């Protein structure tokens, strides 16, 4: 049995991690900065602008969720699949995976562009979901497929991969302890075991926060679809408050993912600094020319 444990982040991860971080921040920007702030300042902007914002919000949130799944799968392959790791854990594969998530998320949410209508009969102002969105079989099927793909399927995938990854790390750690058992009874530090412990902590921080923060939204969505209660009488209704809390928590998930990446990984911090400095560096090069 191979008892080696990999480091928490392989060399290819710091080179690609700014893209997932950017996607998490983009989800917060599209769902908070554009929607809430713009809606407060310009509550009656045109339906086409509102529809575009809604599509951008769905797309950015899907990207954030599935990049969390991709991160979890990357850790699973790096730790549990030693033979497959050399072919999969490369910069090219990581970039292809990120680009695939971006493109599929965009295509999958295009139907939302025709699911909204004007809130006023004779003016193209405001926006709300069409009545047939909650009654037609095609839209109901689309809604259920969307809910299964984000975030029900990611829930189960993340939990399964984390269980397999932690099991592999624990088995390898026990084997190393037996091989390195001190004769004199002195406690020896093993960098590989410490690396495995950090991998477990990082996995549970990223994946655990995702599951906990999405839980309210998932349970409420399942309840409203099964009970067919999509409308609430007023803003003070308990279901409205629960829906608002669920929205806030799921958006907070995108914030926490970026925060965890930056706080726990020094190489990620360096790459983010380079990404921030890149525009100014290019401008200086152009000026010098």
Cα distance between residue 32 and residue 57, in whole Å: 9
Task: Judge whether residue 8 has pLDDT over 50.
Answer: no
Cα distance between residue 42 and residue 37, in whole Å: 8
Residue 193 Cα distances to 71, 206, 269, angstroms:
21, 20, 24
* Chain segment 207-257, per-residue pLDDT in tens: 788 888 888 888 888 888 787 776 666 667 787 888 888 888 888 887 776
pTM: 0.74
Across the chain, what does the average pLDDT equal? Answer: 76
72: closest CA among 189, 181, 163?
Answer: 163
Task: Judge whether residue 19 has pLDDT over 60.
Answer: no
3-class secondary-structure state, position 81: coil
Do you know the residue count of the chain? Answer: 289
Cα distance between residue 217 and residue 245, in whole Å: 8
Consecutive H or E run containing 25: helix 18-28
**What residue has token string 């990207």?**
63
Return the minimum-mean-pLDDT range out of 19-28, 153-162, 227-236, 237-246.
19-28
Consecutive H or E run containing 117: strand 116-117
* Chain segment 72-122, per-residue pLDDT in tens: 888 788 888 878 878 887 888 888 888 899 899 999 999 998 888 877 666
- The strand pair at 128-129 and 116-117 is best described as antiparallel
């Amino acid at each position: 049995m191979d008892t080696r444990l990999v480091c928490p982040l392989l060399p290819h991860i710091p080179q690609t991690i700014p893209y997932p971080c950017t996607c998490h921040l983009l989800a917060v920007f599209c769902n908070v900065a554009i929607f809430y702030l713009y809606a407060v300042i310009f509550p009656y902007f045109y339906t086409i602008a509102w529809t575009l914002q809604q599509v951008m919000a769905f797309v950015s949130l899907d990207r954030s969720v599935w990049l969390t799944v991709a991160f979890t799968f990357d850790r699973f392959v790096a730790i549990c699949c030693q033979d497959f790791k050399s072919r999969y854990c490369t910069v090219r594969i990581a970039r292809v995976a990120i680009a695939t998530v971006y493109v599929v998320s965009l295509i999958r949410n295009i139907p939302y562009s025709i699911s909204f209508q004007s809130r006023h009969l004779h003016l193209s102002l405001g926006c709300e979901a069409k009545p047939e969105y909650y009654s037609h079989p095609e839209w109901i099927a689309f809604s259920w497929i969307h809910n299964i793909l984000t975030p029900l399927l990611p829930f189960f995938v993340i939990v399964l991969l984390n269980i397999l990854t932690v099991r592999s790390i624990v088995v390898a750690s026990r084997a190393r302890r037996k091989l390195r058992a001190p004769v004199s009874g002195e406690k020896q530090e093993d960098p590989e075991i410490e690396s495995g412990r950090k991998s477990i902590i990082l996995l549970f921080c990223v994946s655990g926060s995702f599951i906990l923060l999405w839980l309210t939204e998932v349970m409420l969505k399942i309840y409203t679809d099964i009970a067919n209660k999509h409308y609430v009488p007023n803003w003070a209704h308990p279901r409205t408050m629960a829906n608002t809390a669920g929205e806030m928590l799921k958006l907070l998930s995108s914030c926490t993912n970026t925060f965890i990446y930056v706080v726990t990984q020094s190489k990620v911090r360096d790459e983010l600094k380079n990404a921030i400095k890149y525009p100014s560096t290019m401008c200086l090069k152009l000026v010098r020319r």
